[in-house]
Chains A and B, each alone.
Chain A
Amino acid sequence: MEVLMIFAIGILFTVSTYLILTKSLLRVVLGVLILSHGAHLLFLTLSGLKTGAPPLLGEEAGSYTDPLPQALVLTAIVIGFGITAFMLVLAYRTYKVHETDNFDELRGSDDD
């Protein structure tokens, strides 16, 4: 199961790298979004997937699922959600002001 997940995460990272390196504004934002999914899955996978037990450490528990990564990934997802929302608004505003979604045209300095 872990091996399968690692491949899935690898594909997510590859796709997001491709998207971030493109010149279209919306694709870059999507790329960052996919990268965050990859990172979150990586966290869940690396700390061990389902072991068939509840996330409780009872007095006599033989096996248990580590609850910490789930709590942390939940926090990270919430943060990522907020940042994505902000990034979309900023991208839209930039598109409105510059009238382009091409990063090649979002260059140059103020003073020339």
Chain B
Amino acid sequence: MTNLLILPILIPLLAGVILIFFKNSKMIQRVISVIASAAMTGISGYLIYAVYNNGIQTIALGDWQAPFGIVLVADLLSVSLVFLAGILGLVTLFFAYQTFSAEREANYFHTFYLFLMVGVNGSFMTGDLFNLFVFFEVMLISSFILISMGSQRYQLQESLKYVIINTVSSMFFIAAIAYIYGVTGTLNMADLSVKIAQLYEQENSGILTVIALTFLFVFGTKSAIFPLYFWLPHSYFAPPAAIAALFGGLLTKVGVYTVMRMYTLIFNNDPIVFQILLLFGGLTMFIGVLGAVAQFDFKRILSVHIVSQVGYMIMGIGIGTPLAIAGTFYFLAHNIIVKSGLFFFAGITEKITGTTHLKKMSGLLKTHPYVGWLFFITAISLAGLPPLSGFFGKFALVIAGFEAGHYFVIAVSLATGVLTLFSMMKIFMTSFWGEEKLPDPSAKERKVGKLILPVLPLVALTVILGVAAEPFFLFSLEMGEQLTDPSYYVESVLEE
């Protein structure tokens, strides 16, 4: 049973390597990468079932027992995220088939997509800090290649900045790992949790706060928290919509996942870090949404919104009660689904009109009503209107914030919600509503066709997560309980 844990990492790795040899055969590439993604998703679906019924599952790689070897750990949070990553990967593939040029597909798109999945799944599953760094790098190198593939003028300039900023933060990751290894002499996360809890009881625990903040700098850069978000809106604007959807849906969320893991499991006693998380969470969401209000480009608005949504999750982690963690996860899952859905809509309108600038298009609702209304559902879900999925995540966060007495940051989050609605409606009103105004007359007849199919499961999921929220929310609550009590994680890793 436990050996299944390695498959979500192993399957895309092997498939990616195999696909290098089939560079010129489009059919084989498509079939193998779809099969690999579907297998990954299916196995992680089964793992959710197993973890939910039998508790946290672990596997010691090479049979070196924890804390000496590397362990893979599947708790509710990590397997759910692997499952969501699989679903997102599948729909992205289908969207990419419709929109990508043959040249892009022939130049190892599939291979690097699969390697990206290796990195993402590995980061979610690993129980070792240095192994986390390695999987981060696997993910980042694949993302460097996916983001710069195509070598457009603008793309090159922005991906260069993306590469440099991420590499600098990776180097600080090594430095932070060096500090934590120097202080505790271990890198196993469960073992770190025990040792650091003991160290906090002694005096002079200031070094631990320094380490915690160094990690916050690293993960903050990857997940685009307030002072470190400046690279994101430009970089995510550069690649085509399918890749932007994959990045916007997954990569920043990996950063958020690591913040969640580090500050619930390892630094859960730190007095200062949680204040800082709340402060930065509030600033991130508010400044992010102000940026979105100011933009007039479909993809740019969505990119800046990623920043704002990350703020909500950071705020949830900062509140830190089981309900808040449950809300954070619900919001995270909702955001993975909805954000990539919205990027797909940006790709669809770009396909129809040839532009993503809002002032150059209008009245799409008359020519393409299905696209318009499906976009409307997704957009109000992002803004958090009931009965869609965005509402319940925010609702839980607000209640948890009130219970913990963080009134100010909750007020900021509610104001942010209103501005989110405003900027989403701006897209809807200018590009779908209103007089028909298209850059060229042939756009009217241009059919969307199969392009809409990959979006349908995402829209369906956000409706299901909203209308049938109760079972999913109970699941999140159980996850919240599991995460806020590190002893579950520690015991199941170190017991073996």
Contact = CB atoms under 8 A, between A and B. Distances in A.
Interface of A: 20, 25, 28-29, 32, 35-36, 38-40, 42-43, 45-47, 68-69, 72, 75-76, 79-80, 82-83, 86-87, 90-91, 93-94, 97-98, 106-107, 109-111
Given A90-B148, A93-B151, A97-B156, A79 B168 contact: no
B357 A47 contact: no
Contact of B171 (A39, A107, A109): A39
A110 B300 CA distance: 12
A43 B160 contact: no
A72 B130 contact: yes
A33 to B, nearest CB: 9
B179 A109 contact: no
Contacts of A87: 160, 163-164, 167
Contacts of A32: 164, 167-168, 171
A87 B313 CA distance: 32
B175 to A, nearest CB: 5
Interface string B391-425: 00000000000000000000000000000000000
Interface in B142-183: 144-145, 148, 151-154, 156-157, 159-161, 163-164, 167-168, 170-172, 174-175, 177-179, 181-182
Contacts of A72: 130, 177
Contacts of A68: 181, 187
B230 to A, nearest CB: 12
A69 B177 CA distance: 10
Interface of B: 130, 133-134, 137, 140-141, 144-145, 148, 151-154, 156-157, 159-161, 163-164, 167-168, 170-172, 174-175, 177-179, 181-182, 185, 187, 234, 237-238, 297, 357
B160 A91 contact: yes
| Chain A to chain B: the 9 pairs with minimum beta-carbon distance, closest first | A46-B182, A43-B178, A110-B154, A39-B174, A39-B171, A106-B157, A94-B156, A46-B178, A35-B171
A68 B238 CA distance: 40
In the complex, which of the residues B154, B164, B171, B179 has the most CB atoms of chain A within 10 Å of its own CB atom?
A: B171
A47 B178 contact: yes
Nearest to B177: A43
A20 to B, nearest CB: 7
B177 A90 contact: no
Given A39-B178, A47-B178, A97 B153 contact: yes
A110 B168 CA distance: 26
Contact of A94 (B134, B157, B172): B157
A75 B134 contact: yes
B154 A109 contact: yes
B137 A83 contact: yes
Nearest to A73: B174
In the complex, which of the residues B177, B234, B297 has the most CB atoms of chain A within 10 Å of its own CB atom?
A: B177
A12 to B, nearest CB: 11
Contacts of A43: 174-175, 177-178, 181
23 contacts: A32-B168, A35-B168, A42-B175, A43-B175, A43-B178, A46-B178, A47-B182, A72-B177, A75-B130, A79-B137, A83-B137, A83-B141, A83-B170, A86-B145, A87-B160, A90-B144, A90-B160, A93-B156, A97-B153, A106-B157, A110-B154, A111-B297, A111-B357
